[in-house]
């Protein structure tokens, strides 16, 4: 999909592009918004009923993407209870790679797919629900690979040399 679109990083990461590419809508759908608000209130109510040790146990059950998942996990503060939780998103690779002095920097736009809080059990599916909860529907992450990493990586390669 990436090669289908313009390679200019500015276009690629603009909000308009993201809305177009992923079918996002603003949180204008009142029905979804009301439903999500209700879910947040229920989660908050549940959270208020937890003891400190129950909260501590639930924090330990930190949600992770299933093995082999292509989704990127980012830390995100839960809108309902304020605990650190995990937002899963789909990374769309940016069109441009920046070469710094001794590093290769790649920017990715991540589109929100799934939010799960293991403490208050708030779960939101898809960017529309996540946006309706007042949380980010997309964000940019930066990945850096230093040239040292790269050369170290080469050292680990098996030797296909001349035999």
Contacts of 117 (CB under 8 A, 6+ apart): 43, 63, 78, 80, 81, 83, 85, 123
User: Of the two residues 83 and 90, which places its CB atom closer to Zn ion in the complex?
Assistant: 83
- Binders in 61-100 for Zn ion, by CB under 5 A: 78, 80-81, 83
CB of 38 to Zn ion, least distance (A): 15
10 or 77, CB closer to Zn ion?
77
Q: Give the per-residue contact string, 22-61, with Zn ion (x = CB under 5 A; - = no).
A: ----------------------------------------
Q: Cα torsion for 76, 139, 109, 120, to the nearest 10°?
A: 30
CA–CA separation, 82 vs 74, rounded Å?
Answer: 15
Beta bridge partners of 139: 110
Residue 94 CB contacts under 8 Å (≥ 6 apart), including other chains: 9, 12, 13, 106, 107, 108, 109
- The enclosing H or E element of 126 equals helix 126-132
The correct pick among 87, 88, 92, 120 for binding Zn ion (CB under 5 A) is: 120
Residue (30 or 75) nearer to Zn ion, CB: 75
Please identify, using beta-carbon distances, which residue of 122 and 135 lies nearer to Zn ion.
122
Q: Does 124 bind Zn ion (CB under 5 A)?
A: no
The window from 13-21, 49-57, 66-74, 117-125 that contacts Zn ion (CB under 5 A) reads 117-125
To the nearest 10°, the Cα dihedral for 32, 113, 17, 146? 150
Q: Interacting stretch for Zn ion, rule CB under 5 A, among 5-13, 51-59, 100-108, 122-130?
A: 122-130
Output the smallest distance, CB 44 to Zn ion, in A: 8
- Please report, as ranges, the residues that interact with Zn ion according to CB under 5 A: 78, 80-81, 83, 117, 119-120, 122
């Amino acid at each position: 999909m990436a090669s289908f679109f313009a390679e200019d990083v500015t276009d690629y990461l603009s909000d308009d592009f993201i809305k177009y590419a992923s079918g996002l809508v603003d949180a204008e759908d009142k029905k979804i918004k009301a439903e999500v608000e209700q879910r947040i209130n229920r989660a908050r109510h549940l959270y208020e009923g937890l003891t400190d040790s129950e909260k501590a146990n639930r924090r330990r059950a930190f949600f992770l993407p299933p093995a082999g998942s292509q989704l990127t996990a980012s830390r995100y503060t839960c809108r309902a209870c304020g605990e650190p939780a995990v937002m899963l998103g789909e990374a769309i690779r940016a069109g441009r790679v920046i070469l710094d002095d001794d590093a290769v920097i790649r920017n990715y736009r991540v589109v929100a797919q799934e939010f799960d809080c293991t403490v208050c059990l708030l779960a939101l599916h898809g960017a529309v629900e996540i946006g309706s909860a007042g949380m980010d529907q997309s964000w940019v992450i930066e990945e850096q690979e230093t040239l040292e990493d790269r050369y170290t990586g080469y050292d680990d390669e098996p030797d296909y040399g001349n035999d």
